[in-house]
Amino acid sequence: MDFNDDSSSNPCLKPGFQTPGANKRLRAADDNTTESQTRIIYQENLISNNKISHNQRQSIQQNDFPPITIEFKSMNNNNDRKLIQELIKEWETKNTKKLDVIGRYGFKNVLLIFARNITTLDELLDKDKWPTTINGAEYTIKFPKILPEAYSIVIKDFQITWNETEVTDDLREKYSSLIKLTRFVTRDGRSMNIVRADFNSSKQANYFIKQGEIDINYMKLYVRPYFAPIKVNKCRKCFKHDHFTSQCTSPPVCFRCGQQHSLEGGCNNDIKCANCEQQHFPGHPACPVVQQRRKQIAEQQKVNQAQLLIKQQQYQTRYNHDPNTFPHLMNNSNKAATNMCLNATISPSRTTTNQSYSAIAKSRSSGGNENIEQLMMALSSSINQQLSSFIASISIQITEVTKKMNANNDKLLNIENQIQESIIPAIIELSKIVDNISEHKDKIKAFQSIQTSSYTEFIQQFFKNDQPAKHQNTKFNQNRQKFNTLSAGFTERTIKMSYEIIKEWCWTCSRSELFNVWSQQHQQPALESINLNILHYNIRYYHSNKCDLIDMVEKYKPAIITLNELGAIIPIKVIEKALFSYKVFKTEGTNAHGGVVLAIDKNLNPINVDCKQTKNIVAASIMINNKTYTITSIYSPPAEPLPLEIMSFVMQNSQHIIIAGDFNAKNYDWGCPEMNIKGQKLKPWLDANKKIHIHNQGMITSLRSETTIDLIISTEQQSSVHCQALPYFGSDHLPILTEFTNIKINKQQRNIPKINWDIYTSILTILNPEINQIKQDLNMNPSEWFKFFEQLLYALKLRSTHWHTIEKIRPSITKALRVMLKHKHYLQNRYRHTRSEEDRQSLRAWHKLVLHEFNQHKVNRWNKFIDNVASPQPTTFWKTIKILNKKRSVKFSAITENNKIHRTPDQILSCLTQHFKARFQAPSTDLTVKTDKEALDLWKLLEQAQPEDIQLISQQSDLTFTTKEVWEVLKSLKPKNSSSFDNISNKMIKNIPEGYAQILTEHYNALFADLFWQKQWKQSRTICFNKVESAAPTTQQLRPISLLPVLGKVYERLFLIRFKKWLFKYGILPWQQSGARSNQCTTSRLNHMLEQTYASLL
């Protein structure tokens, strides 16, 4: 097998048939385009004036593909049908795919192959896919010089100063299918800033059209589809444009010079057009005759379209005349002529339009009376036509109103039935409940009262002392009076909640038990567990059925979504924008309808599974209850084999498998009425893997036939899986919702804590004297008191917290817009089935309305954003800017270390422990270094010192602090909500009343007097943030953050005050140092260095 380099390397036009830099395509020398073909191509250009879709472009070009020429090196006695049969067989053997082609013998028994669709043409243009021989004979392939317009695009903003050849060489390194770039020129020869890019793959051209742009040296240039100019017919003998070659009676002329001479020895004359005698070949796009002919064809096409519309309107207003019902107002002598005129005018099926005009003209010339009668007939005919059209429109409107009235009556009947069946019984039950509540009203009041025995028993079941707990009414009244002085401006709910806290505090029980009760009863509520559900949908066309998909997601809230047959190349960002709460994985398909998507809830932390870059299959793994589940989405086109090898690979690497997809496999075992080859091959694979089950057996999933071709396969037990087909008919496949009852996940909700800081601060203010007295009553040392104080703050914060549950998945557009989108989708489906003009106009009007509402929604959001940015409130401004710049860290569910993935929590914890132990290992002490030796000796002396000696030295030092210094340190903390193991945040410390500063000062000074550092304050809580977008990062890709106890950080800052004072007093730090100095940084040193450099140069 050989390839003709002249034709295959550049499947465009020959140099002699092309003007450099012109955006025109000419026919080859053997092109015999008929007049009818010219008209069809012109209609295609009329369609190009509108913005048509990619599918329309393909449908336009699907029957206009150039042939591929096969020339055998040796004589071949087989007929063309036999050779094409052998080519299709050998192609299927090599590429496992059948060709959709036709063919015939051409000139000199050259075999011509014609592709039936653009996908087949793409296959044929790939050199690597051709067999070595056909029927045992070697051959040479010549690819067409002219490719359809679907293989080209137009690039905008291509600057005039750019060289097309250089840019072509640069782009070929990135896009190997690019053939060349051709610049557009005007009629007077001036270059334009747009070019045409030709590819040898329509997929590449379609990809750029879908993207809307192309990357040239990191610049994004807009692109649009290319539409070929109108073809102008040309005679192959005289090269005129007003007749066909078969009709030509002129002698043949030379194609080069336009003169009559012998063509055997070639022609060396100057190039001259046979029509305009200018220096170009006949049929050149710049030829004035060609341009004039093209303009005439365009004008004629407009006339034809106008006549077509007029005939259509006449056909719609046609009616039949009954002379018995409406007799003619004329004498008997003119009756026959008038009847003939009416028949010619009203019934054009009997005679032609020209005949009716001649009859009317003849009748008008017969006399004056006859002319008047003819005018009256014409007037009455016009009135009758208008009346008939008006009656038809009125009848249509009355029919529509009747339909609406019937629909409203049906709705009223349904409402009445619902009232009778549901609402009235519910009212009766509600009245019974109200009666029961009124009967037990006294009991409810008694339960809310403090003195009730039920409340006492409720408290005593938690406060288990040797003596039963009692309520101190006097203490409660005193604290309540104190609170009333602080509760100005509080809401009724805040006051009620504060009273409850004061009541609970006044019970005679230990404080540790009370703190335990508050911590246990007011912790974050556990999220509700639900069954794992998966939505599988062969969406067919993503953009057409996107509304159905969003509606299903909002209604059923699936944790996992699998999509097949996207219908076009959809960027993953478009899908992520629609499914914003899901992690989306996508793989392209092998055909025009292919492509699979797997979307998993981000809270499940999915990890992509390598499927060996196989198309039409995507997989990801998730961890649920310490079990790893591999979720796989598969689409197997009808003409391609099943990916059994990849399916076996996934089975080997995981014990828990869930596979959903359109397999196009039919077998009697899962309820299909027939069996195909794919079903025969899938059945042994299922039998070999006995743990796998098909859960939707017998479920009809295709609307085209009563078969089960969309399958849900998993390793779960058959009884624990429930499948149902959802009633959505936008695609030709029904969506399947599958629920796994043995797999539990958290509901897609979030508990939001709402802390009432007014209650928190007020209760601490009331309890200040008692907290100060507790140390003396219980004889606590400073360390024990700090522990007690941490427990108090944490328990009181929980007691002052109200938990609010919200849904995680919330629509980003308003409900009104969602309703409008749903109705638009309904109109789209109706027009797809009816193709009526009325439905088209309704869809177009509704589309404009939806577009207007969406634009207004965007404008409103933009105005709100601008108002927030321009807000005089700094908080509003920074919150808005933070949303723009802040990028959320990707949650990780596994750790990769030494090419090994740790998935379980125990494995992750063990891996991180080993890593951070080695990373933060304490430095070794080198006794040969003087500083290390002195530090070690000093530490040994401190260990051997007596506590009394340490206290004596501390009393003589300045490590004592005032209440003002402690309060300033507390207020300097940043208001953060994060906490360490002590569960105390900076915000909790900042919200304590100022009266506690004196208590804290006393206890901090006591700690400094003993030089005591609590062990708990040395323990930090480490949180690892993911620095990459992978769900299984390495340990080096984590950013650890250590959270220290807040009271310990206050202790450090107090010491830092005295330490900085000592450093400044004795000049320990040189003045050039910026580190460990306030209001100094590296920039300060750089500025100082620049100043010195500038001063030295003066």
Residue 332: pLDDT over 50? no
The more confidently predicted of residues 811 and 571 is 571
Summarize the confidence of residues 237-245 as an average pLDDT.
85
Residue 226: pLDDT over 50? yes
Residue 51: pLDDT over 80? no
Q: Cα(164)–Cα(196) distance, rounded to whole angstroms? A: 10
Q: What angle do CA 971, 977, 979 make, to 5 degrees?
A: 100
Whether the CB-CB separation of 168 and 181 falls below 8 Å is answered with: yes
Residue-wise pLDDT for 669-678, tens only, equals 898 888 899 9
Residue 31: pLDDT over 70? no
pLDDT value, residue 691: 85
Residue 32: pLDDT over 70? no
* Residue whose C-alpha is closest to residue 764's, from 793, 724, 735, 806: 793
Q: Cα(182)–Cα(433) distance, rounded to whole angstroms? A: 83
Q: Cα(883)–Cα(330) distance, rounded to whole angstroms? A: 86
pTM for the predicted model, two decimal places? 0.51
* pLDDT-wise least confident of 142-156, 309-323, 435-449, 868-882: 435-449
Residue-wise pLDDT for 766-801, tens only, equals 988 888 887 777 778 888 889 999 999 999 999 999
* Residue whose C-alpha is closest to residue 73's, from 140, 3, 13, 27: 140
The more confidently predicted of residues 458 and 81 is 81
Residue 979: pLDDT over 70? yes
Listing DSSP states for 287-305 in one string gives: -HHHHHHHHHHHHHHHHHH
Residue 302: pLDDT over 90? no
Listing DSSP states for 836-905 in one string gives: -HHHHHHHHHHHHHHHHHHHHHHHHHHHHHHHHHT-S-HHHHHHHHHHHH--PPPP-S-EEETTEEE-SH
pLDDT value, residue 740: 94
pLDDT value, residue 327: 52
pLDDT value, residue 965: 92
Residue-wise pLDDT for 601-631, tens only, equals 988 888 888 887 888 899 999 988 888 899 9
Summarize the confidence of residues 251-259 as an average pLDDT.
87
Q: Cα(910)–Cα(904) distance, rounded to whole angstroms? A: 10
Percent of the chain with pLDDT over 90: 13
The more confidently predicted of residues 631 and 140 is 631
User: Which among 50-54, 660-664, 876-880 has the top mean pLDDT?
Assistant: 660-664
User: Which among 93-97, 289-293, 983-987 has the top mean pLDDT?
Assistant: 983-987
Domain ranges of the chain: 318-326+334-419, 441-526+751-807, 534-746, 815-885, 901-920+942-1067
Confidence of residue 650 (pLDDT cuts 50, 70, 90): confident
Top CATH class of 534-746 equals: alpha beta
Confidence of residue 307 (pLDDT cuts 50, 70, 90): low
Residue 364: pLDDT over 80? no
Q: Cα(27)–Cα(41) distance, rounded to whole angstroms? A: 13
Residue 492: pLDDT over 80? yes
Summarize the confidence of residues 563-572 as an average pLDDT.
87
* pLDDT-wise least confident of 46-55, 164-173, 757-766, 945-954: 46-55
Residue-wise pLDDT for 401-418, tens only, equals 777 777 777 777 777 777
Residue 43: pLDDT over 80? no
Residue 37: pLDDT over 90? no
HEC readout, 187-229: CCCCEEEEEEEEECCHHHHHHHHHHCEEEECCEEEEEEECCCC
Confidence of residue 24 (pLDDT cuts 50, 70, 90): very low
What percent of the chain is helix, strand and coil (3-state, nearest 5)? 50, 15, 35
pLDDT value, residue 433: 67
pLDDT value, residue 741: 92
Confidence of residue 985 (pLDDT cuts 50, 70, 90): very high
* pLDDT-wise least confident of 19-23, 242-246, 794-798: 19-23
Confidence of residue 27 (pLDDT cuts 50, 70, 90): very low
The more confidently predicted of residues 1046 and 943 is 1046
Confidence of residue 874 (pLDDT cuts 50, 70, 90): confident
pLDDT value, residue 335: 39
Confidence of residue 153 (pLDDT cuts 50, 70, 90): very high
pLDDT value, residue 29: 35
pLDDT value, residue 438: 54
Centre a 10 Å sphere on the Cβ of residue 924 and count the other Cβ atoms it contains.
6
Alpha carbon separation from 605 to 609, 623, 902, 1024, 1029 (Å, rounded): 13, 8, 14, 15, 11
Secondary structure letter of residue 995 according to DSSP: T
Cross-strand partners of 442: none
Which residues have a Cβ under 8 Å from the Cβ of 704 and sit 6 or more positions away?
732
pLDDT value, residue 2: 63
User: Which among 62-71, 426-435, 689-698 has the top mean pLDDT?
Assistant: 689-698
